Structure 1
Amino acid sequence: MSTKSSEVVDQAARGTARNRRTSSIGQFSLGDNASPSLSTMVPTDAQIRSSQHRQRALSNSDRPGAPSATDNFKKLGSIERMWMVYREAAYRKTWVTPLIMMLLPLLAFALSKDKSPSNPIYPFLFPSYKIMPVGEGSAVMYGKGKKDFCFVAYYTIVFSFVREFFMQQIFEPLAKWCGLTKPGKIKRFMEQTYSIMYYGIMSPWGLYIMRHMPLWYFETRPMYEHYPHKSHELDFKLYYLLQAAFWTQQSVVLFLQLEKPRKDFKELVFHHIVTIALIFCSYRFHFTWIGLAVYITMDVSDLFLATSKTLNYLNHPMTGPFFLCFMGVWIYSRHYLNLQILWSVATEFRTVGDFTLNWETQQYKCWISQYITFALLFALQAVNVYWLFLVLRVGYRIVFLEIRKDDRSDDEDEDEPEPEKDEVVRKARAIGIDRSSTNVDETKKAI
């Protein structure tokens, strides 16, 4: 988040901007992959003023007539000065705080003499509950337990750093290099390119894991024949826990509303609640093979969705054809495959394998788990049907009406200045006005 004077005027000019509807292909509201993040937040006037005060103090310069921030800074002790430096760095670079939080446990573990699993920091950095092979040729397996929460918590912070760093240091410059100039499109481009990076890694990884399991290709009977799944190989456990960390990071930022809610905010919150419930219940009660299949259907469809949106922001000639390709992938993965899984829960869940509740043997495949699993997957499917309606509506307008606009209320460029405000911003920049007012008329008078 930049705090230069010209951008302060930008903020003022945007304060009274009308909501304009300029969405096109790929900009329909499918919030489950339009992941909220700190780096795309719009700073408040109070944050901008505080940042300006810190910058004047840190640069040892004050403008004529402005409060002497430099004199106040000189009076501060070393700790207060360090705190001010950190606050300004964290304000301008939102990846600084998660970087520090990520490095502290690594540093503590590196300095520790004990590198074994008995080290209290070990569960945060590495998967726990390693089970040595019992026979020749057997694979090393990993069990489950409370320490897995430590792993998920730490890598939630790691994902926060990775997301903010890539968005600000790589994807924002990339957006500008690609010719994007409007703030709204730059922010959405940053979000979607990060989604492409994440889902581009997790989709093939999930398919690779499934390829080496009896589940290939989306076979449902093995989900119940081999139950309970109390232990997994290392790649499976890492995949599952990293997915949990990713969705936890998404949910925390979403529920704190650190970004302006979009049109489908309620559906998005509901989707995240259901997803987190599915992750926890499937892991705790050993239905992870079902979870793996659901993960893959979501990741593959989200990869195509993010790519479709990114092509649209770039006005690429393949936007239309790729959108139609995305429609096919979405319907196949989010509905055809998911409905197959849902149908298997309704039928094979009871008839294939043991069907009894036994807490001692951790056998949880019974009538109540069947109802809970079906209810959660059905709820997820209900949200997907709503988003499918939006997808089909855009597709209908493209094919039959040749309209490349969507009527969603919160469009991608709503924070962009209108022509009149562009002129105000240009003149204000020319004479170096630095204001935090949100009223464009006041900015005009100052000019």
Structure 2
Amino acid sequence: MASKPTAGRRKRASSVKEAIDKIETDPALGLTGPFANSPPTPPSEGEVPSPLVAQKNGHVRNGVSPKKRAKAGLPQPDFLSNGLWSDITSLNWARVPTSALFLMMIPLVLYLQWQIVSPNGANPFRYLLMVQYPVAGTSDPVMYQKGYGDVAFLAYYIVVFCFIRQSLTLYVLRPLGWKLGVQKEAKLDRFAEQGYAIIYFSTSGALGLWAMYHSPTWYFQGRHYFQDYPYWKMTKFMKSYYLLQFSYWLHQFLILVLRLEKPRKDFKELVIHHIVTLWLINWSYLVNLTPIGNAVFITMDVSDVFLAFTLLLNKLKLEKASVVAFGCLLFVWTYTRHYLNLCILWDVYNHFELIPKWAQQWAPETGAWLVPWMKWQIFAPLALLQAVNLFWYFLIWRILFRALFKNKLADERSDDEDDGQPDGDENEKDD
């Protein structure tokens, strides 16, 4: 179909809305991280798109039940089980909630059976389900230390996060998006991904603030990152929170590296980002610097909530609300990812020497790891993280500036937003 002349055409949306679209879809930004899917493969030349479109059972991929898909000769959704053993060997359990649930239940059942058979004996399955290694002689509260059994805890909750993510996505967020008027498959995926981001990061951000509130570092009191070192004893809450964050990012890294989702154009950049994140989490936990790790978690998680909320409003075509949310995002991003993170860097540079003299040695048996050169081991990855944030910050402002003053973002849409399915007023002829 020949394109119409541009004169007199109705604008699809404001330039600010297009700026928000650009933030989400531009692979150079990489802001949505693991929550962004790749564009679907376009139909080959001459291929007629399937007439089957999203129905009210919006939790089913492509909106079509497996029975109807088989009848129409369409491939089955990737979240259907191929059998438990096949799902385990192929790692398809990361996509299939029922298989992930079965894997979750095995240790729980074994734990309960062990408790019945030997209630007074040491239950080996407890390492999978709950944090261990209480410090003898501590009470009110009981304090905990690290141990090799923490690896079992991490492994179990990787499965838990796969189950939670896929269950919320398929059975809650996609149907909710459908009811709110999001009907295209790609947009339903985006809606679900940003909805999950809001749920996870708002929860982790609140838990992080709670943990900081009950520690000497409230509110970003940087001197206490070091003058009270080493933090080899943790409350049960702090240890659980930290290991759950670790499990979450390991689960994201697993999905990314094993390509359980179709890789994006910025796949390499996302892998590097995840490696740096896991490096920071692992080392802060290993060398007993959880308070500074918690501070970084808070600055990143809180801003991610506003980013996801802005993109979700944009998917719902709530233009005015998304513009307001975008303004809030810029403020929160500036404060958390730059001001607070620069304060943390300043504290590392200026307060590292406040570490007690006896702890300025490499003596893991005492909980002390911070010899003088470790100052730069802490400072360097945090500075790298700040550099990445500043790069993204510059791109956000440049996109917004061009949208507001140069109008260079007119009708920019990525392929994954246009999958050939109707979506409200977009059924009209292309304007």
Shift of residue 38, structure 1, vs aligned partner: 9.7
Q: Taking structure 1 as reference, are residues 375 and 381 closer, same or farther at Cα in structure 2, changes over 3 Å only?
A: same
| Structure 2 residue aligned with 1:226 | 228
Give the TM-score, by structure 1 length: 0.73
1:281-318 C-alpha deviation (Å, 9 max, x unpaired): 01011011110100000110101111011011111121
Q: What stretches of structure 2 of length at least 5 have no aligned partner?
A: 1-17, 45-65, 74-81
| Structure 2 residue aligned with 1:374 | 379
Of 401, 407, 411, which aligns to 1:396?
A: 401
| Structure 2 residue aligned with 1:321 | 324
Shift of residue 258, structure 1, vs aligned partner: 2.4
SS at match of 2:34: coil
Within 5 Å, which residues of 2 pair with 1:102-117? 102-112=104-114, 113-114=117-118
Paired residues of 1:178 and 1:314 also in contact (CA < 8 A): yes
Shift of residue 96, structure 1, vs aligned partner: 1.8
Within 5 Å, which residues of 2 pair with 1:75-114? 94-112=96-114, 113-114=117-118
The answer to whether 1:147 aligns with 2:146 is no
1:363-387 C-alpha deviation (Å, 9 max, x unpaired): 1122232121111112212221222
Shift of residue 414, structure 1, vs aligned partner: 5.0
| Structure 2 residue aligned with 1:384 | 389
The answer to whether 1:122 aligns with 2:126 is yes
Of 272, 285, 288, which aligns to 1:286?
A: 288
Distance between the aligned counterparts of 1:241 and 1:81, measured in 2? 31
Q: What amino acid is aligned across from residue 273 of structure 1 in structure 2? A: I
Which stretch has the larger CA shift, 333-342 or 344-353? 344-353
The answer to whether 1:260 aligns with 2:262 is yes
Within 5 Å, which residues of 2 pair with 1:173-322? 173-316=175-318, 317-322=320-325
Paired residues of 1:342 and 1:377 also in contact (CA < 8 A): yes
1:242-261 C-alpha deviation (Å, 9 max, x unpaired): 00010000011111222233
Paired residues of 2:40 and 2:416 also in contact (CA < 8 A): no
Distance between the aligned counterparts of 1:271 and 1:93, measured in 2? 22
Q: Taking structure 1 as reference, are residues 116 and 254 closer, same or farther at Cα in structure 2, changes over 3 Å only?
A: farther
Distance between the aligned counterparts of 2:237 and 2:84, measured in 1? 42
Which stretch has the larger CA shift, 161-170 or 203-212? 203-212
Which stretch has the larger CA shift, 378-387 or 263-272? 263-272
CA RMSD of aligned residues (A): 3.7
Paired residues of 1:214 and 1:222 also in contact (CA < 8 A): yes
SS at match of 1:24: helix
Paired residues of 1:345 and 1:373 also in contact (CA < 8 A): yes
Q: What amino acid is aligned across from residue 209 of structure 1 in structure 2? A: A
SS at match of 1:219: coil
Q: What amino acid is aligned across from residue 391 of structure 2 in structure 1? A: Y
Of 333, 337, 341, which aligns to 2:336?
A: 333
Q: Taking structure 1 as reference, are residues 241 and 277 closer, same or farther at Cα in structure 2, changes over 3 Å only?
A: same
Distance between the aligned counterparts of 1:42 and 1:105, measured in 2? 39
Q: Taking structure 1 as reference, are residues 416 and 343 closer, same or farther at Cα in structure 2, changes over 3 Å only?
A: farther
Q: Taking structure 1 as reference, are residues 28 and 413 closer, same or farther at Cα in structure 2, changes over 3 Å only?
A: closer
1:184-233 C-alpha deviation (Å, 9 max, x unpaired): 11111111100101011111111111112111111100000110000111
| Structure with larger Rg | 1
Shift of residue 117, structure 1, vs aligned partner: 7.9
Q: Taking structure 1 as reference, are residues 370 and 93 closer, same or farther at Cα in structure 2, changes over 3 Å only?
A: closer
Shift of residue 407, structure 1, vs aligned partner: 6.2
| Structure 1 residue aligned with 2:348 | 345
Q: Taking structure 1 as reference, are residues 253 and 382 closer, same or farther at Cα in structure 2, changes over 3 Å only?
A: same
Q: Taking structure 1 as reference, are residues 81 and 232 closer, same or farther at Cα in structure 2, changes over 3 Å only?
A: closer
Distance between the aligned counterparts of 1:84 and 1:356, measured in 2? 51
Give the TM-score, by structure 2 length: 0.76
Q: Taking structure 1 as reference, are residues 242 and 295 closer, same or farther at Cα in structure 2, changes over 3 Å only?
A: same
Identity %: 37
| Structure 2 residue aligned with 1:441 | none
Paired residues of 2:35 and 2:197 also in contact (CA < 8 A): no
Paired residues of 1:32 and 1:268 also in contact (CA < 8 A): no
Paired residues of 1:188 and 1:412 also in contact (CA < 8 A): no
